[in-house]
Amino acid sequence: MSKLKCTIVGATGYTGGELLRILSFHPHAEVTQITSRSRMGEYAHAAHPNLRGVSALQFIRPEDAQPCDVVFLCLPHGEASAQIERWAGLAERIIDLSADFRLRNLAAYKRWYGHDHPAPHWVERFVYGLPELTREQLKGARYASGVGCNATATNLALLPLVKAGLIDWSLPIVADVKVGSSEGGAESSPASHHPERSGAVRSYAPAGHRHTAEVEQMIVQVRQANQVDVDNLTNFTHLHMSVTSIEMVRGVLATVHVFLKQPVQEKALWKAFRDGYKNEPFVRLVKSSAGIFRAPEPKILAGSNWADVGFALSEDGRKATLLCAIDNLMKGAAGSAVQCLNVMMGWDERAGLEFPGLHP
């Protein structure tokens, strides 16, 4: 059987490189075109030296891309939605890794991105690309959005307790997210200059991070689907996210603080997490009483599509601290995109994504 032919548009960035790495070893898909205006004519390994000897593809202009089966869009915010008609005419399926089609609510999009959506009639055609949340909708879908890496870690930390109906929605939810430098992308800036970046603990979004909108969207969607505390859903504004850059290249660690409706014992949280993730191929519950890695740790997830989740409960049983660690370039971007492709095509969800990460 011939492999599905894929094009990566905007392939010089980190997520484009990760897609090319993953799909180079995928049993059912192959990359046949990679585009870049800045590196047109150069080989893939000029931008992604780890792929020397793996891919012989050369970058072409986006305008020269030929029809294919799937297009992965790795473009700056706003470019995918501005060009969506062109890419839809080139391929039957599109997976957009930008933020252009993540939010279903157009008013929320305008609030968080500061302008009206450029292609509002396309928004409902896209399925939010987090299989743990939207697997059924992704099956057979033609269009999937990307996911925000900070939103993904926060969503996966929260999801079991939202489903279980344990959270007190009258009180705030606080998400403290720590991230690595690769979240800033492949382009250099004064903030990424080594003397400025090395050793930094930089709170670059202490309030108002755009990924907050994706978490709010998840909370409303899951509460509606599970009929959990459905009163006043449209006015849910109790989520507060802070994002801090730390001395790490890859990785996200979300530490999410929630208050519970009533005091619970730890076994209630064990049950919520086990019920929520018992059938998930890429989510692991990490909670041990001893050892270095007794809680989720992004370091050991580098290059993998795993999400490690965990929790702690306050002594009075009223406050839960929820944890999720991911690789921002994988489960937070390219890995989830390929996982979406697998679900869309009806393949084994783990295809091409079985690399376990590295230790040490």
How much of the chain is in helix, strand and coil states, percent to nearest 5? 35, 20, 45
Phi first, then psi: what are they for 41, rounded to 5°?
90, -15
Label residue 31 exposed, middle or buried (CB < 10 Å: 0-12, 13-18, 19+).
Answer: buried
The active-site residue out of 74, 149, 324, 340 is 149
Note if 6 is an active site residue: no
Confirm if 243 and 204 have CB atoms less than 8 A apart: yes
3-state secondary structure of 82: helix
Separation of first and last alpha carbons in the chain:
39
Tokens of 94: 């599109």
Spatial CB neighbours of 261, under 8 Å, sequence gap ≥ 6: 165, 166, 167, 168
Characterize the bridge pairing of strands 143-145 and 173-179. Answer: unpaired
Positions annotated as catalytic residues are: 149
